[in-house]
Structures are given as C-alpha cells and as structure tokens.
Chains A and B, each alone.
Chain A
Amino acid sequence: MSQAEAILMGLRVWGGIGAVVAAAFLTIGIDRIDADARGAYVFRPLLIPAVLVIWPLVLWRWYLYETGRVHWHGRYDPPRRSHYLVGWLLPIGICALIVTGLLQRQSWPADVAPVQLSIPTEAVE
C-alpha cells in the first residue's frame, strides 16, 4: 500500500469510527449530558460532521460530563493572552511567507543560449 493510499485509508477509518460515535452520541449521549438538547432533534443532523471530525474529543468530553469532572472554573478563562502573541506572529509570518515566495520567483532566462559541448560521437544511419 502506498503512503497516499494509507493516508486516505486512515481518513476513511477515522470517519468510520466517527460515524459510530455520532450514532451513539446523538441518540443517547447528548440527552444525558445537555438538558437543552432534550426534545430538540432538528439540529442534531447538523452535529454529525463535527462528530466525524472530532470524535476523540467528543468521547473525552462525554466521559468528563458523565463522571462530573467538568469544572466551572475552566469555562471562564478565555485564551486572551495569546492575542498578543498572534498579533506579532501573524504579521511576521505573513511577511516571511510572501517575501519567501517573491524571492523564489524566476525569470525566464531568455538570454541563455544553447551551447554545443561536443560534436557527435556516433552516427546511427
């Protein structure tokens, strides 16, 4: 199996497991852990793509909710400090990438002429 095939197979397996998790979570789990979801069904299909993508995270959070380990402190600590880091990294990264791209540009070497290095060594006729 080539690496490309392996990667695509990995994605299919990931999505396949996600489908199983989605089936379980959206029919059983969601009602157990979120009161607002009880009796609300129309929005559930909308959640399927996310479960397919982040199912390990879904399982982990589901476990935390079931075991009562979700602490309220954690909900009120937004990652605001990284704003400052992003404020610098983003412009620096953007400039670096564009400059790198521009430096890699080549111009068509129209003035380089073909050079004959040697005369024919054999003649096939």
Chain B
Amino acid sequence: MSVKYVPVQWNPNKYLYDAVMLTGVGLFLYVFLYAAPGLLSHERPINQQIHNARAFGACAFVMLTVILCIGPLARLDTRFLPLLYNRRHFGVMTVFVALTHAGYVVDWYFAFSRWNKFEAVLFANTSYGQLAGFPFEAFGIFALFTLILLAVTSHDFWLKFLGPPLWKALHYMIYPAYLSLVAHVSLGILLDQQNHVFTAIFAGCAGTVGGLHLLAALKERRIDRTRSGGKGGWVHVCDVSEMRDGFAKVKLLASGERVAVYLNDGALSAISNACAHQNGPLGEGRIIDCLVTCPWHGFQYDVTNGRSPAPFTEKVPTYNLRLDGTSVLVHARPNAPGTYVEPVPLPGTAPETEAMA
C-alpha cells in the first residue's frame, strides 16, 4: 500500500499465519532430525551432515509443495483465500530452509578436496549426456537460485517498482523452479532409494500440485467461457437481474483485459478487475463500507473512480457503462486510472433519481 514503506507490515493475522507456519516447519525438522534417528534400526547411523541435509531438503520440498497448492485451492474454493494472504512469508522461509540444505550438501559432499567447494559442485560430475548419473545438483541449483530471486523481490516495493505484470511474470518462475526441484529429486535420491514410502510421498506431493493446478485451470477456463465474448465498442456483460448488491460480474474483453462491474447501492460502476497491488481479481471481492475490497490482500478502491481512499494513492482504470433495456453494457476502452465515472442507476431506482433531479 502507499504511505511510507516499512520492512514488514505486520498485523495480527500475519503473526498468526507465521506462528502456524513456523510451528509446522519447526515440528517437521525436529521430528526428522531428532525423533526419526531413534526409530531407524540401522546398524550404524547415517552421517549427521547427510541426515541434516536430507531433513532440510525434504522440508523445503514439502514447504514448496504446500505453497504451490494454496493458489489453485483458493481458485477452487474461496475459503482457502486466507492462506494466500501471507504466502510470501512462507516462501521466504522456504528459501532459508533450502539454503540450509544446500549448505550442508556443499560443506559435506563437496568439501575436503583440494579444490574450492563451490567450484567442485560445478565440475565434480559432468555426465550431462545421460539420465542416470546426470548431475542432478544442477536442477537443485536452478531451483534454489530461482527461489532466492523470488524471495529477494518479494517486498511490495518491487511489486510497485517493476509493475504487477512484470513482477508476476518473474514470480511465474516458481513453476519451472518446482519442476526443476522434482527433477532434482527424480534424478537424485529417487534413483537410489529402496524404501518406497519416500517414493509414494514424493510422487503424491508433486502429483497433488500438478493435479490441483490442472483442476483450477479447467475451472477458470469454464468460467472464462461464460465471461468472454463481444468485440470492440459496447460489450454485453449480463442482465441487470443477475447483479447482486455489493458484488461484481466479471467480463473478459477481447483485449484480454477483465472488467469488474459492481452494483453498489442500486447503481452500477465498472473498474478494472486487476488490483493495482498484485493484480488480484477485484471482481471476486466485495464492497465493504462503500469500497471495493480485493480478496487477496484487502486493497480498497472507490468503485466510482478506482482510487484508494486517502492516505493511499493506488488507482485502477475505470470503464464506461450504459444500460440497453435490462442489458448491462460496458465500453471496452478503459479510462485512465482514477477517472471518475458517474454510476449508472438501475431501472427500478432511476425514476426516483430523476424525480429528485
């Protein structure tokens, strides 16, 4: 939001979110590191450094799996939206866990030689021409660097500075990073592992991420079909009878942009569906205290001019509307962000307004 930047904008929900996340991560690591060794009936224990590397590596994989499930879950069922709210902290925490994994690996497998340990990571195995024995470390390095890139650019300053579309495009790299992580495991430990509880958990986690994304994409495609249509000029959105006070109808324009048409206090207004913050879907939000509220992070806009209330300075484009009988029409050309557009009263309320005028 506007107003001066601070390192983290804390609020009670964020504290709660982080507390739950850290408790879960702490328990994972504690159980793996301290409870599991006692339950393993090995003649001699696994080296401590290898055990640690595995604990942190497995934890990072599970954390990233959970993080990647949140998005599609929230698209499939809006009750999951609160998990999206502070997902960034989850992501940054994952980077620290992944870095710890990398640290243990580099300081153990690649140390103790006469070469620099980081150089050793790069040249020890160069069998790039084969699948079994492929230097799977390369996939881990790519995933780690990508996670670092996303974590360091996670502050809202970068969102505003780079602009939401570029920022989001950059953060789409989480998908190649996750695939790279799956490759890191598939061509690494999966080739050796004899206990197939591991295989089942790994495939189950990755499969869940893939499956949820497919389900969410199909659902979105279905919804988009009902929202799309209409080229140039005035575009039909819906019938006025479909509008519900405080809620929006979303229209997908031929340009690919989306409009959120809101009914507020008996009058229609249209703003861009993309929140100025992270391009969250404003049309899936609600009007609270006469302000459109984004379902992702609660950014608010006056529905008539697309401006955030003072002292905030965010603006979104507005659109012109008109009624053709009971048909709601929106003009496909957006107005500059923050442009006031007179709300269009619904037919039932129109005579009253006219009478008053």
Contacts and interface: CB of A to CB of B under 8 A. Distances in A.
Interface of A: 2-5, 7-8, 33-40, 42-43, 46-47, 49-50, 52-54, 57-58, 61, 70, 72-84, 86-95, 97-98, 100-102, 104-106
B31 interface: no
A105 B3 CA distance: 56
A57 B210 contact: no
Contacts of B149: 53-54
Interface stretch (B40-48, B217-225, B233-241, B286-294): B217-225
Contacts of A98: 182, 186, 190, 202-203, 206-207
A32 B275 CA distance: 25
Contacts of A58: 161
Interface of B: 2-7, 116, 118-123, 131-132, 148-149, 152-153, 155, 157-158, 160-165, 168-169, 172, 175, 178-179, 182-183, 185-187, 190-191, 199, 202-203, 206-207, 209-211, 213-218, 220-221, 256-258, 272, 274, 276, 279, 313, 316-317, 334, 336-337
Contacts of A5: 116, 119
Contact of B7 (A38, A46, A82): A46
Nearest to B202: A98
Contacts of B4: 36-40
Contacts of B162: 57, 61
A88 B355 CA distance: 56
9 contacts: A36-B5, A54-B153, A72-B336, A76-B274, A76-B279, A79-B172, A83-B217, A91-B214, A98-B207
Contacts of A54: 149, 152-153
Nearest to A95: B210
B179 A97 contact: yes
Query: Do most interface residues of chain B lie in helix, strand or loop, or is the interface mixed?
Result: helix
Contacts of A4: 118-123
Given A77-B256, A90-B209, 18 more contacts: A4-B121, A4-B122, A37-B5, A38-B4, A42-B6, A43-B157, A46-B7, A50-B155, A50-B158, A53-B148, A75-B163, A76-B272, A76-B274, A78-B279, A83-B216, A90-B213, A94-B207, A105-B191
Contacts of B123: 2-4
Nearest to B169: A79
Contact of A101 (B148, B186, B217): B186
B114 to A, nearest CB: 13
Given A47-B157, A106-B132, A2 B119 contact: yes
Contacts of A78: 164-165, 168, 274, 279
Contact of B317 (A43, A76, A91): A76
B119 A75 contact: no
Contact of B5 (A43, A81, A90): A43
Nearest to A7: B122
Contacts of A47: 155, 157-158
Given A50-B155, A74-B165, A104-B131, A87 B214 contact: yes
Contacts of B163: 70, 74-75
B168 to A, nearest CB: 6
Given A49-B152, A82-B172, A100 B213 contact: no
B166 to A, nearest CB: 8
Shortest Cβ-Cβ A-B pairs, 10 listed: A87-B217, A101-B186, A91-B210, A78-B279, A4-B122, A50-B152, A40-B4, A4-B119, A49-B152, A104-B132
B215 to A, nearest CB: 8
Nearest to A103: B131
B257 A77 contact: yes
A101 B157 contact: no
B152 A97 contact: no
B155 A46 contact: yes
Contacts of A70: 163
Contacts of B5: 36-37, 40, 43
Given A2-B119, A74-B165, A104-B131, A87 B216 contact: yes
A81 B155 contact: no
A16 to B, nearest CB: 16
A83 B165 CA distance: 13
